[in-house]
Structure 1
């Protein structure tokens, strides 16, 4: 508010004492809780809306707090740019929408979070985007699934819930042979345990709700452009980047922004702008605070999960422990290669089965309901230890064949180990498993 503007009470109660753009020397990232931003001039606003310059317009697209969050995640992943959105599901959705385009085709791993499978096989199908699911360990299947309209490969670095470790480099090579980018959901590994971009991935997405936030308080998602995929190499394949962007006249994103920035510009100006999966400034701030202790939390959680997995591997009520840190695990060699800091704290166990799905569910139910420290919550990456029953919860929409392909049975329990005392967690599991 101009100091020489005469004002009355109602005006002062809205505008007094605040100067737009005035810097404050806070030691921690501030929370900019504003839905919109004041422009220096109409000419400035015009240039911002036309994408001739960059800056703050409206918090549906971005906020200063969100931009700091984006820059920090990009720095941790070794990327060029990032886009923060309302949830991990939104991050997957806008990334794949931007890359696949109308009528595009996606090759995706069978071993995915259930919500991602729902998105790909139902909602994307409604949009005319098709998906072929393959065994993530079968490189021939990845290559055989490629079609002329294929635009992206998609997988998880470590799959939820069975903790299969992806050979990122091999799948990236297959994607690049097909002339398409590889998108990796690295929610479970976090940039502390693995940076997929160092192994050939072109885009990395996270549900920031999980480990990045770390305390189960806030929803958020982020998509990181590593900056390695050249959309200009085959321009006819990527018209969304290499031809004039209709709503901005003759502007061509690839020419205006180039590698590492064109993707973010498209996602923010089209998919976030039009569909509205916006990350609130408050949630961005909560996640930023959580990220400050990411390595401390993840290191402790990983070590605790390793000990618990080793303990459960000899328990008579447990038929299998799906943890790649165990020497006998099928993906142990890949874990040693890709996860030198330790395996993630999300893994699963299979209880001994009776062969009857209803009996197996009741057995799992008895164990879950007997837990007192580990909580029944449909989340992972929390400071608290959590348990879920994938077949009836997170992956309940999958067909029996899809559950089998993902390694999930009615005896499968998913664990997400928190930062509590590991002895309390072992005791809690032993008490509950005694009922199985």
Structure 2
């Protein structure tokens, strides 16, 4: 069997042997609306005992028909399940659905968002490469730069001026393997110029990795602007219920990993061997999805951060309502920003970080990329650190939780809780102050949210 006809096993998800006659083609799927794909993509009930809801396949392994069946799977001639750490039917539907929402083929679910980020960086910079990024990232991601990646021989460089594409261009070194940004940063909602950064990365033959957690594929699809790899913490808005941890890595399928900058994708490995025991590269067995295929085959399979079927199921249930949730939450967010603007005029708030704020400096980028509405995370500063503590302690409807994107509205202290891994200098560079409060707007009635913020500010300033 030629390599051109080998099934792209690791990237493609296993299909049932009982194929339905009305199976939707990829082209038909792509023509459907976002909401329809979020509800139905990647799932045919006829292939799952006609179950209306995606079943939870609570199994560690799968019955093999015979030795030939096992050989076909092991040699990547057939896409089928063999062990849940590698693939699982419930998780397969989640991966296919998220891939359909982005218009791509390759997707791999992981056990957490941080696993998705870390595995992507390890996959790109294996063997001593470097990652170019900023401090405008989740604190746990920044911590990997100092506490994990150097021990694996991977260097990290911080771009001097992340708002200037030329600053990124000048900071790229011969061994830089990827640019990493958040499309909308946590917690200050700074919108990255994805298109400009993709042009910089591709000029040097390297990839752009975009963490799109805050925006979700509903607000922006980074692949439409040149991103090569997109990662998520599905724990956040994609799930929307705060009941499951998860992550996902997707790839565009357009980048040339045989350009000489990524020898790990061209290297022949025993893991990808044929039935004749001939070593092959991931590019040979998965030419259109090498990044996610290698990430699944080497990193998820051998390091083990695979999601459980139950967590994948919970994420699918949340994903079904993503558009409806964000439509309401983004509208509520803008009203809450309007209230905070009033409080700023009254001298109670010193700064507001959100595209809906009148002095937001990245409005042009927000309007370019966030065409369906601005994100649902608001950060704002009060006058002192002690005042911040009083406001947070006085909140009654907002829950104090280290999460975001939940259907319930949340509040947290990013300086203390979500970004403690950053040094004081790094926090200053990132723009996070000791008096910053982060809100995540959920589905409660907006008037109730504003009333809670009002009484919390009243209480804090009365004291």
* C-alpha distance in 2 between matches for 1:37 and 1:415: 44
Alpha-carbon distance between aligned partners in 2 of 1:304 and 1:27, rounded to the nearest angstrom: 32
Match of 2:378 among 347, 351, 359: 347
Aligned to 2:392: 368
For 1:307 and 1:194, the matched residues in 2 are separated by 21
Matched, 1:252 2:281: yes
Q: CA deviation at 1:23?
A: 4.5
Structure 1 position 42 matched with structure 2 position 67? yes
**For 1:29-108, what aligned pairs fall within 5 Å after superposition?**
29-108=54-133
CA RMSD of aligned residues (A): 1.4
Secondary structure of the residue aligned to 1:269 is helix
Match of 1:138 in 2: 164
2:225 is the counterpart of 1:204: no
**How big is each residue's C-alpha offset from its partner over 1:154-211, in whole Å with a ceiling of 9 and x where there is no partner?**
0000000000011110111111111101010000000100000001111111100011
Q: Residue 364 of structure 2 is aligned with which of 333, 342, 347?
A: 333
Query: CA deviation digits over 1:216-250, x for unaligned, max 9?
Result: 00011000111121112x1x322221121233342
**In 2, Cα distance between equivalents of 1:43 and 1:148:** 46
Q: Distance in 2 between matches of 1:161 and 1:223?
A: 22
> In structure 1, which of residues 137, 148, 151 is the aligned counterpart of residue 174 of structure 2?
148
Contact 2:206 2:261 in 1 (8 A): no
**Aligned residue among 348, 368, 372 for 1:317:** 348
The CA deviation string for residues 258-305 of structure 1, in whole angstroms up to 9 with x for no partner, is 12x222221111101111101000000000011100000011111111
Deviation at 1:46, TM superposition (A): 2.2
Contact map agreement 1:160 1:347 (CA 8 A) in 2 = no
Shift of 1:327: 3.4
- Aligned partner of residue 328 in structure 1, secondary structure: coil
TM-score by length of 2: 0.86
Q: In structure 1, the residue corresponding to 2:86 is in which secondary structure? A: coil
Name the count of aligned residue pairs.
Answer: 407
Deviation at 1:148, TM superposition (A): 1.0
Give the unaligned 5+ runs of structure 1. Answer: 1-19, 354-359
What residue in structure 2 maps to residue 308 of structure 1? 336
Gaps of 5+ in 2: 1-16, 19-46
Shift of 1:126: 1.1
Contact 2:182–2:211 under 8 Å retained in 1: yes
CA-to-partner distance for each residue in 1:319-345, whole Å, 9 max, x for gaps? Answer: 011011223210111111111111100
Match of 2:246 among 220, 245, 253: 220
Does residue 407 (structure 1) correspond to residue 435 (structure 2)? The answer is: no
1:286 counterpart residue number: 314
